[in-house]
Amino acid sequence: MAYYFEEASHTFSEYLLVPGYSDENCIPANVSLKTPLVKYKKGETPKITMNIPMVSAIMQAVSDDRMAIALAKEGGVSFIYGSQTIESQAAMVARVKSYKAGFVPSDSNVCPEDTLQDVLNLLEKTGHSTMAVTEDGTAQGRLVGVLTSRDYRVSRMSLDTKVSEVMTPFEKLVYGEEGISLSEANDLIWEHKLNALPIIDKNGCLTSFVFRKDYSDHKDNPNELLDENKSFIVGAGINTRDYEQRVPALLKAGVDVLCIDSSEGFSAWQAKTIAWIREHYGDDVKVGAGNVVDRDGFRFLAEAGADFIKVGIGGGSICITRETKGIGRGQATATIEVAKARDEYFEETGIYIPICSDGGIVYDYHITLALAMGSDFVMLGRYFSRFDESPTNKFMLNGTYVKEYWGEGSNRARNWQRYDLGGATKLSFEEGVDSYVPYAGPLKDNVNLTLSKVRSTMCNCGALTIPELQQKARLTLVSATSIVEGGAHDVIVKDKETFK
């Protein structure tokens, strides 16, 4: 006879936090959102601690190098999607790792014979107006000049104008030589009132740029998440098929943490993947696993050696696993049970394995609920897909700006490895949909707003840290009627556009 869980499966929207006592120190400015990303032993410090409890999902429509840089600036971690070639994914990781060092490889390059039309095409593609002019038009070619938007006026120039006619030639450039320190490069930038300083090697070939804005960015982003070399911390997704080739390439590129990307983690495939990593790299390489929804799944991955464990099946906004296969569990119920298993494991072994709530988060307050229920951090897909920094297209749809968003189980993603059960190398049926999400602007503004809500709610609960929230939080199930009561009701809500 099948086993029946006695308790109904609940979602985040079925819970509310009951306020606790707040003393005079409980103000948002005093709240710390630091949280461990990977496991650690009692009394020790985690190898990686995030400054905010947010990571971006391992999805084509969410996490590339641009997203990784933007989120690391705010203190979180992106897991660059693995449903691409090994070379492409490793290149994205390498770009993130080289970015914060201040010496940024040029991604906008032209040659002297290119035209103004070529420049405009490249500008539309990359969004970067500072372009290196090299002999062969590559990022490592011999530098012959630099082109910026101040060098040309589209309205008064022919689009056939050669780059060589409008660029600032090499002999008029201020540049740094390979080996210059970041401090020295910044001094040159300030001394000569530059926006960008090209760095060349002994042969005159371009190696990188140092940008004035990076200095300002550091001052504007006190929470940025850096490694010991002052580079951004970045993660990457792997699968249970080609890990023997993918993992070494990602490590060579500098990845800080890996995560097995799978719709269901309670499987021999994940245990074998972790075992191979431990055999070849020991505990130095950090790898998360999942997803699971109960105590048994957690214990399995914990004993397999996972450094963090993701919780959730079928709760994502574009996921139709529950609809097509009938498996999964309400995200709140799953989080609560796995958190209890995590605490039980810690008591037994002295090893704390962070858990990540992945899916089911619709509103900002769901993040606070997930943390209160025991999650150390949350993984978000739809949330981040709406921002400028996501890799998808923005366009107007029925009078509203939207961005594309599709699931890894959709036919568009063709990420069969994520749903692999040892069968054919293809998707037998879809477990995700292709969709649009409302465009929401820059990541920084939205994340800051979301986290201000989290901090405020934590203060309402009398908590200044995530562990304190988990200890002090009091949660209550709510009825369908009280859910309606929680929103605006029995009034006519003003149309903001009409009543300006």
Q: What is the DSSP string of 168-201?
A: EEGGG---EETT--HHHHHHHHHHTT-SEEEEE-
- Residue 77 CB contacts under 8 Å (≥ 6 apart), including other chains: 37, 48, 50, 55, 56, 68, 71, 225, 233, 234, 235, 256, 257
pLDDT class of 267 with cuts at 50, 70, 90: very high
What are the phi and psi torsion angles at 157 (to 5°)? Answer: -130, 150
pLDDT class of 432 with cuts at 50, 70, 90: low
Catalytic-role residue among 26, 111, 259, 319: 319
Q: What percent of the chain has pLDDT over 90?
A: 73
| Burial of residue 290 (number of CB atoms within 10 Å: 0-12, 13-18, 19+) | buried
Cβ neighbours around 87 below 10 Å, total: 10
Coil, strand, or helix at residue 111?
coil
| pLDDT exceeds cutoff 50 at 166 | yes
Q: What is the pLDDT of residues 199-209, one digit of tens each?
A: 999 999 999 99
Active site residue 95: no
Average pLDDT over every residue of 58-64? 94
Average pLDDT over every residue of 255-282? 95
Q: What is the DSSP string of 123-158?
A: HHHH----EEEETTSSTTSBEEEEE-GGG--GGGS-
CB 287 within 8 A of CB 306: yes
What are the phi and psi torsion angles at 377 (to 5°)? Answer: -160, 170
Scored b (16 or more CB within 10 A) or e, 298-323 reads bbbbbebbbbbbbbbbbbbbbbbbee
Lowest mean pLDDT of 26-40, 338-352, 375-389, 392-406, name the range. Answer: 392-406
Q: What is the pLDDT of residue 431?
A: 62
Distance CA(203)–CA(332), nearest Å, equals: 60
Side-chain half-sphere CA neighbours of 184 within 13 A: 10
Side-chain half-sphere CA neighbours of 196 within 13 A: 20
Q: What is the side-by-side order of every strand in the sheet holding 400-406?
A: 394-397, 400-406, 434-438
Q: What is the DSSP string of 458-491?
A: HHHTT-SSHHHHHHH--EEE--HHHHHHTS--SS
pLDDT class of 427 with cuts at 50, 70, 90: low
Distance CA(175)–CA(197), nearest Å, equals: 6
CB 145 within 8 A of CB 122: no
- Residue 192 CB contacts under 8 Å (≥ 6 apart), including other chains: 174
Q: What is the pLDDT of residues 354-408, one digit of tens each?
A: 999 998 899 999 999 999 999 999 999 999 999 999 998 888 888 999 998 876 6
Q: What is the DSSP string of 377-409?
A: EEEESHHHHTBTTSSS-EEEETTEEEEEEE-TT
Lowest mean pLDDT of 38-42, 137-141, 312-316, 487-491, name the range. Answer: 487-491
Eight-state DSSP code of residue 6: S
| pLDDT exceeds cutoff 70 at 323 | no
Which is more confident, 493 or 268? Answer: 268
Give the closest residue to 416 by CA, choosing from 428, 406, 434, 404.
428
Amino acid at 175: Y
Amino acid at 68: A
Q: What is the pLDDT of residue 414?
A: 55
Active site residue 26: no
Q: What is the pLDDT of residues 79-116, one digit of tens each?
A: 999 999 999 999 999 999 987 667 888 889 999 999 99
DSSP H helices in 287-381: 295-304, 321-325, 331-349, 364-372
Q: What is the pLDDT of residues 451-483, one digit of tens each?
A: 999 999 999 999 999 999 999 999 999 987 777
| pLDDT exceeds cutoff 90 at 484 | no
Q: What is the pLDDT of residue 395?
A: 86
Cis omega (within 30 of 0) on the bond before 291?
yes
Q: What is the pLDDT of residue 101?
A: 62
pLDDT class of 499 with cuts at 50, 70, 90: very low
Give the closest residue to 356 by CA, choosing from 373, 464, 346.
373
Catalytic-role residue among 418, 455, 459, 461: 418
According to DSSP, the β-strands at 235-238 and 257-260 are parallel
Q: What is the mean pLDDT of the chain?
A: 90
Average pLDDT over every residue of 447-452? 98
Average pLDDT over every residue of 276-280? 98
Distance CA(384)–CA(390), nearest Å, equals: 7
Scored b (16 or more CB within 10 A) or e, 331-340 reads bbbbbbbbbe
